[in-house]
Amino acid sequence: MPALLLQQPSYGSLRQFLDHHFDSIHWPERYKLALDMAQGLRFLTTQGIPCTLHSGSVLVDAEGVAVLTGFGRERGMIASAPCQMTAQPSNAALVVYTAPEKLAAIAAATAAAGAPTSNVAYSPDWEVFSLGILLWELSSGRLPFEEIIARAEAGPRLNKNIEQLSSAIQKGLREETVPGTPEIYEQLFKMCWDSEAESRPPLEVVEETLQMLVVVEPMDMLMLPDDEMNMHVSSVLSDSVDNESVSSHNTPTRSNSVRSLSPLPGYQPRQRPTTLHEAISVSNADMTEWYILSGHDLNGYAIVPTFSLECEITPILTCLGHFLPSSLPIFKELMEQDVDLSLLCRRSNQNGLHVLVDRYIPFKNENGSAHLMEAMDILLKHVSPVEMDINGLDVQGHTPLHLLMRNPRISSEDVAEILKKMVPKGADTTRAAPRDGNVLALAAKYLHFEATKHILSIDILASEPESLEKAVEACMTMTGRATDKFVNLRTKTRDLLKMWTGSAGQPRREKVALKILQDVGQVDALGMRTKGKAVTFAHSQAQVDCANRFYEAHIKKKREQVFETVDLRFAGGLGFAGGR
C-alpha cells in the first residue's frame, strides 16, 4: 500500500499550536501559516484531491510551517491516516468547517437515503470555505463557536443539536471578527466563507493576497516582544514560497507534498513601485516625489491590495492607511500639494481621521509615536463639516473616536493624548457606536483608563446613570490574559466608573456641569447665573442642556443658600459694628 511519510511535527496540530503559543505569535507568523495552508490546498485541488480541512488536520513543524493532512481520494491511490499529533474533532465541531452547500447536500442525501450519509459530489469550493474558517481561527486563537458546540455536545439531543447548528450555518451564522484583525485579512476570510460558493475567491487569489501580506509586513519592522517569540521565522520570504519540484521518483517532501510547487507567477520581491499609490504604500519617498512631479492625479482613486480588496482610496488615504515613521515626509508633501481631504474611501466611507486611527500600527523607531501625533495635529487643522468631518460616520456607523478606542495597537497613553487633541476640535464623545455604546463605554471596554478619566471630566452626559451602567458592564465583559496587570487595570477602571455613581459622584458631576456652563457664559466663576456672553462654545447643545438640568436640580438652590448665608452674616456684621 502506498504511504505518505512526514517528519515529526514539533508543535503538533494547528489546534494544539494555537492552544499553547497563540499569545506569542503575531500577524506576520499568522499570515505565513495561512499562506502555507492556502498553497497546500491549491496544490491538492489542482490534483483533484479532496481534503478534510480543520485545525486538527493541519500540523505545524519545527520551522513553523503548516502541513496539511487528512486528504485523499475515496477508493483512490492517495489517502492519509491520522497520526498521534492530529486531532479528530467531534461531529458538531466538524460542522462549523463545512460549507453550507455541502451541509445542504448531505441533508438532502440523508433524507433521500432514509439514513445518515455523507456520500455527495465533491466541490473544490468547499475547501475555500473551510480555509476561511481556519483563517478566522488563526486570528482568534480559539475554535469557532466553541461555546455553542460545547452546549450541543452536553445536551441530551446531540443529533438534533447538530442539525440546528448545521441549519444556522446554512442561514449565514458566522463568528464575529476579533478586534484588532487587519481589515484586508478580515475581508479575505469573510469572502472565503461566503454563503454563495460562486462569491468565494479562487484559491489563487487567496494565495496571492496572503503572499502580499507576508511580503509587505516584514517582521523586523514590527514592534514584537523578542522574549516572547517561540516560533522561529528567520526571514520575510520564508520557505513557504520556493522553487522545489517533485523529484523524478515522485517521493513527496514536506515542501511539495501539500503546497504549490512554485511561487506566484511573475512574483518578484522588492520591485520598484509602478504607481503613485504603490510608492506611497511602501513609503518610497523618492518614487512618490517622482510620480508627483510627473503629474499623476493626487486625488485619483485606486484599489490598494495592502489596504483593502474592495475599497478604492486616494493617495492621501493610502498614506494614512500605511502610516510609518518614514511616511511622515510623504504625508507632509501631499498636504502641501493641497490634496482633497473631503474625498472618502469608496465603500467604507472613511475620511482621513478614520483611516489613520483605524489602521495605525506602531513600528520600531527612536521617536515612538511622535509621527502619529504630528500627523494628527496637521489633520485636525483641516477639520470642518465640508473638508473633513471629525464626527463623520463610516459605513458601519463609527466615528473616528470610536475607531480610536477600538484599535488595540495604539497604546492607552496615545489614545488619551489623541482624545485630548480631538475633543477641542469638536469630537463628540456622546455619539454611540453600533452595539458598543458611547465613547465612554468603548474606553472602558478596552481599558483605556486615562481616556475614561478624561471623558468623565469633560462630558456630563457620560456620567449619567445609564451611561455609567453600560460602561461598567462593558469594562467587565472585556476578557484578556489572566495576568495581574490586566486584572488590576480592569479593577482600576471599574472602580473609577463607580466613583461617579450615586451620591459619591455628585460633587464630581457638579464640577463638570459648572465648567460647561462657565464655558458658555451661563454661570460666573462663583457658580451663580449670569447673563454674560459665552466665553467659548466648545460643547454641544446636548451637553449644555444636560448641565443646565443638573444645575437646576442639584446646584442652584445650594449656591443660593450659600450666598444668602454669606449675605446675612455680612449684614449682621455691619449691624454689630453700628451698634458699637
pLDDT in tens, 417-448: 999 999 999 999 999 998 889 999 999 999 99
pLDDT of residue 125: 87
Q: Is pLDDT above 60 for 244?
A: no
pLDDT of residue 205: 84
pLDDT value of residue 79: 40
pLDDT at site 251: 30
Asked if CATH classification 3.40.190.10 holds for the domain at 14-232, the reply, yes or no, is no
Contact 426, 391 (CB under 8 A): yes
Instruction: Decide which of 155 and 417 is more confident.
Output: 417
Q: What residue spans define the domains of the chain?
A: 14-232, 272-428, 513-579
pLDDT of residue 155: 66
Q: Name beta bridge partners: 59.
A: 13, 67
Residue 222, all three cell numbers: 514590527
CATH topology of domain 272-428: 1.25.40
By CB atoms closer than 10 A (0-12, 13-18, 19+), residue 172 is exposed
Mean pLDDT of the region 43-61: 87
For the ranges 74-88, 121-135, 226-240, 476-490, the maximum mean pLDDT occurs at: 121-135
Model pTM?
A: 0.59
Output the pLDDT for position 215: 67
| pLDDT reading at 250 higher than 90 | no
**Is residue 572 very low, low, confident or very high in pLDDT (cuts 50, 70, 90)?**
low
Burial of 467 (0-12, 13-18, 19+ CB in 10 A): buried
Question: d(Cα 322, Cα 188) in Å, to the nearest integer?
Answer: 18
Say what percent of the chain tops pLDDT 90: 42
Of residues 347 and 216, more confidently modeled:
347
Amino acid identity of 208? E
- Whole-number average pLDDT of the chain: 80
- pLDDT above 50 (res 561): yes
Query: Count of CB atoms within 10 A of residue 90's CB?
Result: 13
Q: Who's near 354: CB < 8 A, 6+ residues apart?
A: 345, 348, 392, 394, 398, 399, 400, 403
C-alpha span between 103 and 105 (Å, rounded): 5
- In the predicted model, is pLDDT for residue 220 greater than 60? no
Q: What is the secondary structure of 330-380 as a DSSP string?
A: HHHHHHHTT--TTPPPBTT---HHHHHHHH---B--TTTTHHHHHHHHHHH
